């Protein structure tokens, strides 16, 4: 059975990929285990693995325009966003982890005379990763880099909607000299292919990026099988806290809030879907944010001028429109957007939407919409801002807009999120970890040296020397 890959821009079928069955997953894991135990990859010195990974990065750079077009077509991403953001970021990830290959270190604690103790981090062997559709290659690179550099054999399942860039990178891996079976792509859906990976007892670690519901199912499968190491990066409902002095930041503040809300048509786990504004500047922020949202170019993602493309499919469009219509029916005002836009037949294009005056009990304030929609609420005190920011089950990312050090420190300390940026919408660069709190994350972090902890296990060696 095959799965069609559909272009969200116009509904055309771009091709098809196989649905990998549970039996086929078992065969792939058995092969990956044989490759790992052979030592053709895991037995190399770290710098040798690094050299191959750097060759892979060079090949990805050679094919960067093709990779950008594949992600743009599969996910409906604006081509400029893919060319200037996603693909360069994926290449940087592979290079960064390659250069970190020999930076992992164990420890050697002080012991009694005649005893030598030390710790090492070793690869699990066969590991797996399940990817989202919104950042197909960028998220793949966050997992490919540390998993392979550590010496594992990785089975990668791309989202069924967006498999083609990952398939191309797998072919580049072999061109780079990475042995066959070290990086394997298993195309398919969640209920069949993803579930088989989660349940396979030969897989020692599994990293997942996607919905909270699916993350919980993966944890259950791990508990029922071999208690594999599971790391989850899941949903978000990121707040942007705008303090009174944020006006002094000028256009950077509105530009950052607009980017956070509407990048990738809002289909982003760190999307700034809640803007919390001090009452003294509320009216101006609402006015300027509405104007900025209305000025964004909604269009064909293949057009370099397009800033907001289609949402991924009909089901997503209907879910988003229903949430907006419901909020408006309960008293909210759509100061920008709130409607569908005609661009290409067969695609679902939604105008960037800003909702003000939302009922405090409205579910749109706490539910992840995953679309080009943001709400604006007011607050009177710093403590109220923290309370509003934390009034959701998620805790992935937050942004604070202020120049005051006391406000920045208090809000960064008080907001329950894995990443809090101040003065800019950011997830940080490759040197810092990225992972969520509460229902947004579990078991590990992406990026930085901390990412290697997902893909390695620590061993203690204790040697007692005979007395003489």
Residues with active-site annotation: 233, 269
DSSP assignment of 30-92 equals HHHHHHHHHTTTTTS-HHHHHHHHHHHHHHHHHTHHHHHHHHHHHH---HHHIIIIIHHHHHH
The C-alpha atoms of residue 231 and residue 236 are separated, in whole angstroms, by: 16
Which residues, including other chains, have CB under 8 Å from residue 426's CB and lie 6 or more apart? Answer: 399
Stretch (H or E) spanning 320: helix 314-329
Edge to edge, the sheet with strand 183-185 lists: 183-185, 153-157, 126-130, 203-209, 229-233, 441-442
- Of 398, 404, 403, residue with least CA distance to 385: 398
**Residue 231 in contact with residue 207, Cβ under 8 Å?**
yes
Encoding tokens for residue 422?
């101040």
The C-alpha atoms of residue 163 and residue 313 are separated, in whole angstroms, by: 16
Which residues, including other chains, have CB under 8 Å from residue 402's CB and lie 6 or more apart? Answer: 241, 243, 245, 246, 408, 411, 422, 423
Q: Helix H segments across 115-161? A: 136-149
The C-alpha atoms of residue 294 and residue 308 are separated, in whole angstroms, by: 11
Which residues, including other chains, have CB under 8 Å from residue 436's CB and lie 6 or more apart? Answer: 233, 234, 236, 394, 395, 396, 397, 417, 418, 442
Per-residue b/e over 333-356, b at no fewer than 16 CB within 10 Å?
ebbbbbeeeebbeebbbbbbbbbb
């Amino acid at each position: 059975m095959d799965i069609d890959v559909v272009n969200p821009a116009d509904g055309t079928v771009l091709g098809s990929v196989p649905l990998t069955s549970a039996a086929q997953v078992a065969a792939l894991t058995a092969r990956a285990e044989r490759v790992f135990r052979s030592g053709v990859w895991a037995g190399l010195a770290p710098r040798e693995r690094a050299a191959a990974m750097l060759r892979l990065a060079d090949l990805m750079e050679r094919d960067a325009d093709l990779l950008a077009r594949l992600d743009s077509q599969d996910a409906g991403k604006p081509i400029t966003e893919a060319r200037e953001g996603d693909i360069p970021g994926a290449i940087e990830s592979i290079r960064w982890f390659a250069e970190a290959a020999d930076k992992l270190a164990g420890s050697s604690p002080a012991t009694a005379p005649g005893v030598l103790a030390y710790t090492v981090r070793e690869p699990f062997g066969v590991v797996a990763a399940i990817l989202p559709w919104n950042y197909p290659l960028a998220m793949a690179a966050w997992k490919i880099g540390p998993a392979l550099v550590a010496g594992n054999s990785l089975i990668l399942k791309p989202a069924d909607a967006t498999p083609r860039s990952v398939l191309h990178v797998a072919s580049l891996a072999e061109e780079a000299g990475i042995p066959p079976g070290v990086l394997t792509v298993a195309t398919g859906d969640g209920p069949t292919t993803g579930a088989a990976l989660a349940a396979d007892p030969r897989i020692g670690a599994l990293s997942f990026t996607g919905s909270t519901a699916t993350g919980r199912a993966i944890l259950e499968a791990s508990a029922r099988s071999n208690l594999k190491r599971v790391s989850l990066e899941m949903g978000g409902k990121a707040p942007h806290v705008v303090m009174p002095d944020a006006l002094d930041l000028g256009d950077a503040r509105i530009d950052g809030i607009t980017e956070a809300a509407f990048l990738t048509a809002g289909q982003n786990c760190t999307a700034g879907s809640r803007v919390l504004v001090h009452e003294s500047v509320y009216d101006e922020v609402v006015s300027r944010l509405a104007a900025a949202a209305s000025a964004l170019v909604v269009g064909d993602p293949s057009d370099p001028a397009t800033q907001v493309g289609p949402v991924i499919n009909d089901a997503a469009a209907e879910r988003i429109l229903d949430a907006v219509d419901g909020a408006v029916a309960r008293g909210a005002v759509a100061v920008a957007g709130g409607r569908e836009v005609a661009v290409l037949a067969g695609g679902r294009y939604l105008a960037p939407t800003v909702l003000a005056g939302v009922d405090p009990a409205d579910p749109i304030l706490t539910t992840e919409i995953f679309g080009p929609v943001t709400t604006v609420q007011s607050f009177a005190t710093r403590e109220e801002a923290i309370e509003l920011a934390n009034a959701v089950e998620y805790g992935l990312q937050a942004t604070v807009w202020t120049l005051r050090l006391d406000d920045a420190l208090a809000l960064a300390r008080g907001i329950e999120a894995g990443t809090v940026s101040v003065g800019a919408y950011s997830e940080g660069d490759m040197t810092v970890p990225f992972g969520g709190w509460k229902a947004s994350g579990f078991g590990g972090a992406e990026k930085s040296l901390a990412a290697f902890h997902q893909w390695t296990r620590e061993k203690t060696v204790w040697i007692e020397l005979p007395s003489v």
